[in-house]
Amino acid sequence: MPYRVRENLFIGNISDAAEILQNGSAEITHVLSVLSSPSISFFTEWRSGLTIPAKEIKKVYVGGSENDLGDGSKSSLSPDKLLYSLEYAGKDLKLVRMAVSIRDMESEDLLDYLDVCLDFIDRSRKAGSVLVHCFAGVSRSAAIITAYLMRTEQLSQEDALESLKESCEFVCPNDGFVDQLKMFEEMGFKVNHASPIYKRFRLKVLGDSYNRGEKIDSSKLGADPGMPTGVSSEISPSPNDENRRTTAYRCKKCRRVVALQENVVDHIPGEGETSFAWNKRRSGNPFNKSDEPECSSLFVEPLRWMSAVEEGALEGKLLCAHCEARLGYFNWSGIQCSCGSWITPAFQLHKSRVDISSV
């Protein structure tokens, strides 16, 4: 039986979901399935003899126009990936089922599904009651509901999970999900693709993908800010708008733009990759920046002009795409900044080889 977490909100496993989909429920009207496959056939493959009718409402892809996040290209998920499917399902097609495809693995991207899942839970609770389920009802569904409690009740990750355990004591999101929930908390209970926390996360996801042997092609690299048709011109509807001006880094030798401020992935000088400590340390220590060691390098996300990166090497030089001056170095295994911090993976520009200006 599903466990009641809040009014109109339940958590359960695949058996609970199958029971409700097959026989209907007096209470549950909506189902959020978090399984390795979003297809309804997952249930019939899990238990033969089960028949669950379903009628598609829509499928939404990460880079699709229906994805109202509007910044699919900045997500860690590839643009052609299914974000979620929505369908009528179960007995007499009376239930509304949303399905997202997430595996219960520490390296799995949970963050990029949170907004759509939490919005679905919100809408479902207003229209009826919602069951959030995964396979065992322990990790994935618990992570989603923890995020939901965090956002709706402004709870820390720890407090939200403790509160969920009062309804269902054996829940235990995997460590990778817990880390991502802490990032969600640091970002103010929303997934902000422009925040340094998310940028570091995206870089880590890319590094994991490289380490698994996946090819890093140009679709996984950021737009080249030195090209006239770059992203920067698309996002500036009014060229006269002073607020749209942004800091640019140019090759010192030929002045070509090689990075914009939005491409920079900040790190805490002198510390490791403890991304969660970033905001706390900043806000807790506002007058004490002078004792931070100076960084001689700038670390950025991998960009399309870095042709050596696309060739698949573990490490190599970063040469200016226009004049071939040496600007820095990249290494998927990491580089240590002069301040002592290790950045992994690292795409490093020497501050002495670039000039700062505005565009």
CB of 346 to Zn ion, least distance (A): 11
CB of 96 to Zn ion, least distance (A): 49
Q: Return d(Cα 283, Cα 335) in angstroms, integer.
A: 27
User: Catalytic: which of 117, 134, 168, 320?
Assistant: 134
| Cβ nearer to Zn ion, comparing 50 with 323 | 323
CB of 228 to Zn ion, least distance (A): 16
Whether the Cβ atoms of residue 33 and residue 100 lie closer than 8 Å to each other: yes
| Cβ nearer to Zn ion, comparing 50 with 254 | 254
Report which secondary-structure segment, H or E, holds 30.
Answer: strand 30-35
Buried (b) or exposed (e) across 260-291, using 16+ Cβ within 10 A?
bebbbbbbbbebebebeebbeeeeeeeeeeee
Q: Return d(Cα 147, Cα 132) in angstroms, integer.
A: 12
| Cβ nearer to Zn ion, comparing 226 with 302 | 226
Buried (b) or exposed (e) across 179-210, using 16+ Cβ within 10 A?
bbbbbbbbbebebbbebbbbbbbbbbbbbbbb
Collect all residues with Cβ–Cβ distance below 8 Å to 126 and sequence separation of at least 6: none
Q: Return d(Cα 249, Cα 255) in angstroms, integer.
A: 9
- Report CA dihedral (217, 218, 222, 223) to the nearest 10 degrees: 180
CB of 335 to Zn ion, least distance (A): 10
| Cβ nearer to Zn ion, comparing 54 with 318 | 318
| Cβ nearer to Zn ion, comparing 102 with 346 | 346
- Helices 175-186 and 157-167 cross at an angle (nearest 10°) of 130
Whether the Cβ atoms of residue 69 and residue 75 lie closer than 8 Å to each other: yes
Collect all residues with Cβ–Cβ distance below 8 Å to 298 and sequence separation of at least 6: 249, 259, 264, 348, 349, 350, 351, 354
CB of 298 to Zn ion, least distance (A): 9
CB of 264 to Zn ion, least distance (A): 12
Give backbone dihedrals phi and psi of 45, rounded to 5 degrees, phi first.
-75, -30
Q: Which residue is associated with the tokens 């229906």?
A: 66
Binding site for Zn ion (CB under 5 A): 251, 253-254, 256, 269, 295, 320, 322-323, 325, 337, 339, 341
CB of 75 to Zn ion, least distance (A): 27
- Residue 28: how many other CB atoms lie within 10 Å: 24
**Active site annotation includes 134:** yes
| Cβ nearer to Zn ion, comparing 135 with 305 | 305
| Cβ nearer to Zn ion, comparing 3 with 278 | 278
DSSP letter string, 305-346: T-HHHHTT-SEEEEE-TTT--EEEEEETT-EE-TTS-EESSE
Residues designated catalytic: 134
